[in-house]
Structure 1
Amino acid sequence: MNANKSQQYAVGIDFGTLSGRAVVVRVSDGEELGSAVHEYSHGVIETALPGTQVRLGPNWALQSPTDWVDVLRRAVPKALAVSGVDPADVIGVGTDFTACTVLPTTTDGTPLCDLAEFAERPHAWPKLWKHHAAQPHADVINKLAEDRGEPWLARYGGRISSEWEFAKGLQLLQEDPQVYARTDRWIEAADWIIWQLTGAESRNVCTAGYKGIRTEGGYPSRDYLLALDPAFGDFTDKLADELLPLGALAGRLSPQAAEWTGLPTGIAVAAGNVDAHVTAAAADATRPGQMVAIMGTSTCHVMSSDQLAEVPGMCGVVNGGIIDGLWGYEAGQSAVGDIFGWFVDNCVPPAYAGEADRRGISVHTYLEELAAEQPVGAHGLIALDWHNGNRSILVDHDLSAVLVGQTLATRPEDGYRALIEGTAFGTRRIVEAFEEKGVAVEEFIVAGGLLKNRLLMQIYSDVLRRPISVVASEQGPAVGSAIHAAVAAGTYPDVPAAAASMGRRIESAYRPDPDRADRYDLLYAEYRGLHDYFAGEAYGGNGVLHRLHKLKNEVIG
């Protein structure tokens, strides 16, 4: 192996919602030399188990582990081939995953869905981050914790999410106790993929801290778990108490994984990580006050701080959750790009698609062009961005979207722009929640696929009334994973040092227009009123969205 940094390389692998991406990065300066994408053949499993007639209930979202291994088999070798890099010069591999994406396995890491006896049992399959069918279980967890005064609850904004390990685990127990009994290990996909790469189980501080309710005091007590359900007392036995810091060496690439990837046996494999949190390194955003919003199908907001505070509705604050030695905060929106995709797929007339096709552009681009011509407020609409529930600050996935102000004159571009603005208002509410508790947001940085939408980026800058910096790479998570791989390999002493050399961003790429920002202040005030009203009785509202959700589930089963 070459000892010169300029001739050393790391591979970052980003496991997303619909695909996995591998990128080959030069260790000395973060230059991206080759990348490849593998689309999951099963995608998101939402209606029925693959190859069966087994139907899934409302709000289910599963994935197949074979899709993840196929990323190792296909994307990594292709990225290496494209890069022209000699695999012998690759010093390490880092990965990141959506979270909480969690699965039950045997003691050797075999997913239960791969066993013939459980292949047709939905609870044996990995539950994707946006599996929200565990909301009733999250409600029970939250109420009991509040009634008992559990100290850990405040560290998660006062409510844990249906997306997280404990809610999904309690659902598993109560809906399929046989699968629960057979579950030896309940493990985040972020850690499972490291198991496949190294041949040894490990757990990382990030997923355990944010998604597994693991604080410095450990997991919730056995007494609390027994109070939830007498059979749930052993749940934390299926987890792990020894956690690796981010950037740590999780192990060495096994011969099996080397065969899959085309990489040398024995190179460093970094501890597992989450797609959003690892992106901070790609932006060289490792200092307090730098909030990174990773905007794609959903948005995750992450930020490090030297201050510990209890921020309502945050997804969690974890010591070392992003950067070792700092408090890492997380918040998020459960749907952003998914909302725009839904709108284009379901709410745009054929004439628009025809015109976009005639011009050789996408329907999204056509709508952006039309919407960009509008003055702020001209469409007369306000949207609540809850098409997939609310992650922050309400932490309620039984909520649904609201669009008010439509008339017979409303056009598709009006609705499209209103939805973009609604997601921007949701982000502003999150930023305000942090600053109201004394956690300053000094720089707002955007990464992810939605960076390509210039209209969206300018609207966010105007709504937030602040400049927006952007990550220089279109492959932020994968580059961030490669940065962590370089640290695990010992090339850099820590993640901030590696990020300073390998990460980069464009500062203040978008700046707010004062006049538009003033008009958006008026619309945001209306958004806040609707936000609290439709949030439900706890916020002095009506509760109609919860009643509609309950009725829908009663009707469709």
Structure 2
Amino acid sequence: MSRKYTIGVDFGTESGRVLLVDVQNGEEIATHVTHYKHGVLDESLPNGKMLPPDWALQHPGDYLDVLYQSIPQVIEKAQIEKRDIIGVGIDFTSSTILPLDQAGEPLCFQQEWESNPHSWVKLWKHHAAQKEADEITQLAKEQDEDFLSLYGGKISSEWMFPKILQIVKEAPEIYEKTDLFMEACDWITSKLIGKLIRSSNTCGYKGFWSKKNGYPEASFFSMLDARLEGVLETKMRGEVQSIGGKAGALTEEMAEKIGLLPGTSIAVGIIDAHAGVAAVGAVHPGQFVMAMGTSTCHMLIADKEEKIEGVCGIVEDGIIPGYVSYETGQVAVGDSFAWYVDHAVPSYILQEAKEQETNVHALLEEKASIYKPGQSGLIALDWWNGNRSVLVDAHLSGIIVGLTLATKPEEIYRSLLESTAFGTKRIIEGYLQAGIKVNEIFASGGLPQRNRLLMQIYADVINREIKIPDSSQTTALGAAMYASVAAGGENGGYDTIFEAAEKMAKVKEEVFTPIPENVQLYDELYQYYLDVHDYFGKENSSVMHGLKRMKLG
């Protein structure tokens, strides 16, 4: 019997990656990346129309390019028969939503609407709907809505309904013309299979849906805004299918466009970071996964549901069928390091990196690794793009305490690395205080593969061993694993994600182990972090809120 393969398609913030995987052992056979031609639209639309602050849009045509260009490329690279590819899985940044017309096409494709920013894809890091998120939170509290407790008691501006409400208020004409609002993940999946489906993963974490209760009562949305009456039955219609299942079969039209056979199994879509959970084998309670990149998403598998401060979602069957899956996150991690390198590093550091023929990050990592914890005299807050967990406040901003005339660039760089580790520790403490076990910690994504100092800092701050996947493409691998389950055991795949994880998931033998003397120093530093965290995030948040208000005008 010939070997069987699946394809994972990973839609990121700047590009889309396609990975072809051997189902038998998880071997990564071929990969191809298509960079989005339009990138992130955070300053202007493609036609030059300027965007307000805190906007982040994308061009949906870039997503289709990934399918049309990268899937044929990996097939050609691998030199395998199409009949041996048994499934395709999609993972996507989220909440990334778009308004569709009656033909299921994005409104921004129409000349009539291309100059209206609200007709475009709103990317996950679009934070211009904070006011609407606050309104939803307030009404949910007033009405004592049960769903609010599943999201840590506060709704994020990143999620679907705040973005929809922003459209209702600022562009009612777009709202009226919209036949469907969809997560980009579910839109791509629906394009492949030719029918409308939504994922329990995307709806559960970003759309107020639960397996037990479905969406909130229709009356809640009518109270929020009269124009939202009937939104669930109309613009949010569509069957919600469970993660780990088969969404449908590839249509003849799409098969011809992407170079696969019609009838190929298509998995129910999943949020990008969540796909990495299965890819590291974290499919049992107590396993905590940090998907670390431009931002960090934390996923924890548990066997019970508890209320936790600042959680982004508690979803039954959300990531791993049969368990409750929790999500928390930090909005800026790699982004904050990149900000410093791109905009604040002095010229002599750039020159030194050039002379040593290395990149600035590597040089700063080398310089910063010489310091002991606390030696820089700095504490930073990891809020350079707001705070997702535990405060859920997009109006908060970054801060560095302790700067002097003697402060060096590598000290600032190290303080930024440390701040993200402190933020993660604060999140883990929330789980532990609620009685949720955290037994194992995994770090996936690009950062753990590139920055050893960062991972050692995390191990020291959290005081836990950290395991790293033996793959730099965990999200795409995870999507490919879900594709193997969608295909099923009778077709050469697997019947459960547990079986797939046992055969396809990979973790490196090397782990990052806490250094006892560093743990002790970081315990003291962490208390200072908490002092600053609570001062600016709770007791005196009006300082940062006021600065943000003045910036926006």
> Could you state the TM-score of these two structures normalised by the residue count of structure 2?
0.97
Report the Cα distance in structure 2 between the residues aligned to 1:42 and 1:507, rounded to whole angstroms: 39
Matched residue, 1:122: 117
Matched residue, 1:424: 421
CA contact 1:206–1:273 (8 Å) conserved in 2: yes
CA contact 2:247–2:267 (8 Å) conserved in 1: yes
Matched residue, 2:486: 488
Per-residue CA distance 1:19-55 (angstroms, 9 max, x = gap): 0000110000100011011111111000111023x21
Q: 1:389 to 1:553 in 2, by over 3 A?
A: same
Letter of the structure 1 residue corresponding to residue 423 of structure 2: G
Q: Superposition pairs for residues 186-335 of structure 1, below 5 Å?
A: 186-215=181-210, 216-237=212-233, 238-240=235-237, 242-335=239-332
- Structure 1 window deviating more from structure 2 (221-230 vs 116-125): it is 221-230
Report the Cα distance in structure 2 between the residues aligned to 1:349 and 1:508, rounded to whole angstroms: 35
Letter of the structure 1 residue corresponding to residue 160 of structure 2: E
Matched residue, 1:470: 468
Q: SS at 2:98's partner residue? A: strand
> Offset of 1:240 from its aligned partner?
3.1
Matched residue, 1:101: 96
Matched residue, 1:378: 375
Q: SS at 2:241's partner residue? A: coil
> Offset of 1:541 from its aligned partner?
2.9
CA contact 1:218–1:241 (8 Å) conserved in 2: no
Letter of the structure 2 residue corresponding to residue 26 of structure 1: D
CA contact 1:468–1:507 (8 Å) conserved in 2: no
**1:39 correspondence with 2:35:** yes
Per-residue CA distance 1:176-219 (angstroms, 9 max, x = gap): 00000111110000100112211211101000001000122121
**1:459 correspondence with 2:461:** no
Per-residue CA distance 1:57-95 (angstroms, 9 max, x = gap): 110000111100000111112222222322221111001
Letter of the structure 2 residue corresponding to residue 540 of structure 1: E
Matched residue, 2:19: 23
Structure 2, unaligned stretches of length 5 or more? none
Per-residue CA distance 1:439-481 (angstroms, 9 max, x = gap): 1110010000001110001000000000001111100000000
Matched residue, 1:534: 536
Q: SS at 1:317's partner residue? A: strand
Per-residue CA distance 1:340-384 (angstroms, 9 max, x = gap): 111100111122111111211110000000000111111111000
Report the Cα distance in structure 2 between the residues aligned to 1:26 and 1:41, rounded to whole angstroms: 30
Matched residue, 2:341: 344
Per-residue CA distance 1:152-194 (angstroms, 9 max, x = gap): 1111100110000110010010000000011111000010011
CA contact 1:93–1:268 (8 Å) conserved in 2: yes
**1:86 correspondence with 2:81:** yes
> Offset of 1:242 from its aligned partner?
2.5
Corresponding residue to 2:412 among 407, 410, 415: 415
Matched residue, 2:507: 505
Report the Cα distance in structure 2 between the residues aligned to 1:542 and 1:128, rounded to whole angstroms: 26
Matched residue, 1:64: 59
Q: SS at 1:445's partner residue? A: strand
> Offset of 1:151 from its aligned partner?
1.1
Report the Cα distance in structure 2 between the residues aligned to 1:85 and 1:401, rounded to whole angstroms: 49
> Offset of 1:241 from its aligned partner?
5.4
Report the Cα distance in structure 1 between the residues aligned to 2:516 and 2:510, rounded to whole angstroms: 15
Q: Which runs of 4+ in 1 moved over 3 A?
A: none
Report the Cα distance in structure 2 between the residues aligned to 1:97 and 1:207, rounded to whole angstroms: 9
Matched residue, 2:544: 545
**1:152 correspondence with 2:154:** no
> Offset of 1:294 from its aligned partner?
0.3
**1:172 correspondence with 2:174:** no
Letter of the structure 2 residue corresponding to residue 484 of structure 1: Y
Superposed CA RMSD in Å reads 1.1
Q: SS at 1:413's partner residue? A: helix
Q: SS at 2:332's partner residue? A: coil
CA contact 2:106–2:120 (8 Å) conserved in 1: yes
Q: SS at 1:74's partner residue? A: helix
Matched residue, 2:396: 399
CA contact 2:244–2:320 (8 Å) conserved in 1: no
Structure 1, unaligned stretches of length 5 or more? none
Letter of the structure 1 residue corresponding to residue 69 of structure 2: R
Report the Cα distance in structure 2 between the residues aligned to 1:190 and 1:94, rounded to whole angstroms: 10
When the two structures are aligned, how many residues end up with a matched partner? 546
Report the Cα distance in structure 1 between the residues aligned to 2:72 and 2:355, rounded to whole angstroms: 38
> Offset of 1:542 from its aligned partner?
4.9
Letter of the structure 2 residue corresponding to residue 98 of structure 1: T
Per-residue CA distance 1:202-241 (angstroms, 9 max, x = gap): 1010000010001221212222111111112232231135
Q: SS at 2:140's partner residue? A: helix
> Offset of 1:255 from its aligned partner?
2.2
Letter of the structure 2 residue corresponding to residue 499 of structure 1: A
Matched residue, 1:183: 178
CA contact 2:93–2:124 (8 Å) conserved in 1: yes
Q: SS at 1:235's partner residue? A: coil
**1:517 correspondence with 2:519:** yes
> Offset of 1:292 from its aligned partner?
0.6
Per-residue CA distance 1:111-154 (angstroms, 9 max, x = gap): 01011111110000010000000000001110111111111111
- Structure 1 window deviating more from structure 2 (162-171 vs 76-85): it is 76-85
Letter of the structure 2 residue corresponding to residue 486 of structure 1: S
Matched residue, 1:441: 438
Letter of the structure 1 residue corresponding to residue 84 of structure 2: D
Report the Cα distance in structure 2 between the residues aligned to 1:498 and 1:228, rounded to whole angstroms: 43
- Structure 1 window deviating more from structure 2 (378-387 vs 246-255): it is 246-255
Q: SS at 1:364's partner residue? A: helix
CA contact 1:334–1:388 (8 Å) conserved in 2: yes
- Structure 1 window deviating more from structure 2 (507-516 vs 186-195): it is 507-516
**1:112 correspondence with 2:110:** no
CA contact 1:468–1:508 (8 Å) conserved in 2: no
CA contact 1:109–1:195 (8 Å) conserved in 2: no
Report the Cα distance in structure 1 between the residues aligned to 2:214 and 2:260, rounded to whole angstroms: 37
Q: SS at 2:328's partner residue? A: strand
Report the Cα distance in structure 1 between the residues aligned to 2:92 and 2:47, rounded to whole angstroms: 26
> Offset of 1:508 from its aligned partner?
6.2
> Could you state the TM-score of these two structures normalised by the residue count of structure 1?
0.96
> Offset of 1:507 from its aligned partner?
5.7
Report the Cα distance in structure 1 between the residues aligned to 2:353 and 2:35, rounded to whole angstroms: 26
CA contact 1:467–1:510 (8 Å) conserved in 2: yes
